Amino acid sequence: MEYQQLFTDQLNRLKDEGTYRYFLEVNKSAQHFPRFTYQDEQGNSQYAINWCSNDYLGLSSEESLISKLGFAAHRSGTGSGGTRNISGTTNYHKELERTLADWHRKEGALLFNGAYQANVTTLQTLGRQLPGLVFFSDERNHASIIEGIRGCRNEKKIFAHNDMEQLEELLKQVPAEQPKLIVFESVYSMSGTIAPVNAIIALARKYNALTYVDEVHAVGLYGKTGAGILEQENVQSSIDIVNGTLSKAIGVFGGYIAASSVLIDFIRSFGRGFIFTTSLPPAICAAANTSIQLIQREEQRRRQFFSNVAYLRQSLYENGVDFKLNPSHITIIPVAGADRCRELARQLLEKQGIYLQPINSPTVPVGEECLRVICTARHLPKHIHHLALSLKKLLHGDYQTDRQEFPSFALAAGDCEGQD
């Protein structure tokens, strides 16, 4: 058996399909974020602006968090040295779980080493421990949700993205006494769409289903204290399980779920991906806790973030750069064809110093290739102008723009302001 050849053949297949992933070395600078350096193909150091970081609020560069991380690391060391059950639980872990539970208005929270692991472990554990449980999952759900549902042999029913009529049709097919779980995201990261949470809650009540929401791209940003879309919609107590990350808007590392104390105890006791892994470093927990408190206290950062998103969209519009209208902070510029999308991204980086990741299949369906623009609270008007003009230049000529009356994007900014 020629093992190396087996691996090489599969890698070559990815390259032939155009889905092989090449990593750009983004040498991040806490001081100059979103500016970073990278080495070009000739080995020369170049500057570029990062337009695809999920460090939405720029908090990973915040001095008070860096200090807290250093302080806690000096006190507790770099790693926890154990699973939660075997010497890996510190006061920092417990304090962070308390903060997360309160933030999401739940009785408890449980830390994981990432939201991916939190999704896989929680969904798998629920499925394995409740074999009759039927999953109802939005077709656009994240890979970690799909993986979690696949990892158990439970029945699953996939509904079209945000399609409440189909969800209801599927719910009707399952006997009333059979346990059910509706799984969805609040903000969908690859389309920028937002789930109709109120309609989902109504269906869950009608058909006696549990609800599970991934708020990974919403925590830190939406709602009066930044707890997410559920807080913004004032429905925190109506959803059973919330999943979130500490690695995006919070700017640190890790993931979690928040739920009733019995459900948290259930996952803590049966979830293999929770039990059999070293816990988060205590200093990471300390920094994440400080970050959440800062987000709760200082609304200004979130205001700045949404106002940058609105300004970005206005600049794109004024420069004739077509983008999808959606109610979230994720700006999607459709670019038909994987090759064209990749080539545009290459030219933006090499000619304009703009780093935008091309999004192709299998991350999005074929035909929905796009450039996905993430504007953070740290982007400046000059960065936004430069991006809009560069896109105009590159897309000009063979790219159709739809010049309707310029719509108001105050919605995204106001989501935050309206909660005063």
Ligand X SMILES: Cc1ncc(COP(=O)(O)O)c(C=O)c1O
Active site residues: 248
220 near ligand X (CB under 6 A):
no
Q: Alpha-carbon distance 51 to 166, whole Å?
A: 36
Is 58 a binding residue for ligand X by CB under 6 A? The answer is no
Minimum separation from the CB atom of position 407 to ligand X (A): 26
Pick from 214, 233, 369, 415 the residue near ligand X by CB under 6 A.
Answer: 214
Residues 95-114 that bind ligand X (CB under 6 A): 114
Distance from the Cα of residue 195 to its chain's centroid: 14
Candidate ranges 19-27, 115-123, 262-270, 327-335; the one touching ligand X (CB under 6 A):
115-123
**Closer to ligand X by Cβ: residue 36 or 116:** 116
Q: What three-state secondary structure class fits 168?
A: helix
SS3 of residue 313 by DSSP? helix
Asked if 319 touches ligand X (CB under 6 A), the answer is no
Burial pattern 226-253, b for ≥16 Cβ within 10 A else e, equals bbbbbbbbebbebbbbbbbbbbbbbbbb
- Nearest to residue 136, comparing CAs of 186, 202, 172, 184? 184
- Residue among 61, 189, 289, 376 that touches ligand X (CB under 6 A): 189
Give the pairing type, strands 134-138 and 370-373. Answer: unpaired
Contact flag: residue 148 with ligand X (CB under 6 A):
no
Q: Are 316 and 391 in contact (CB under 8 A)?
A: yes
- Binding flag, residue 142, ligand X (CB under 6 A): yes
Min separation Cβ 350 and ligand X, Å: 26
Shortest CB 357 distance to ligand X, Å: 12
Query: Which residues touch 43 (CB under 8 Å, ≥6 apart)?
Result: none
Does residue number 216 form part of the binding site for ligand X (CB under 6 A)? Answer: yes
Which parts of 237-266 interact with ligand X (CB under 6 A)? 245, 247, 255
Cβ 223 to ligand X shortest distance, Å: 17
Residue number with the shortest CB distance to ligand X? 114
As a whole number of angstroms, the distance between CA 124 and CA 148 comes to 5
Distance of CA 306 to the CA centre of its chain: 16
User: Applying CB under 6 A, which residues contact ligand X?
Assistant: 114-116, 119, 142, 144, 185, 189, 214, 216-217, 245, 247, 255
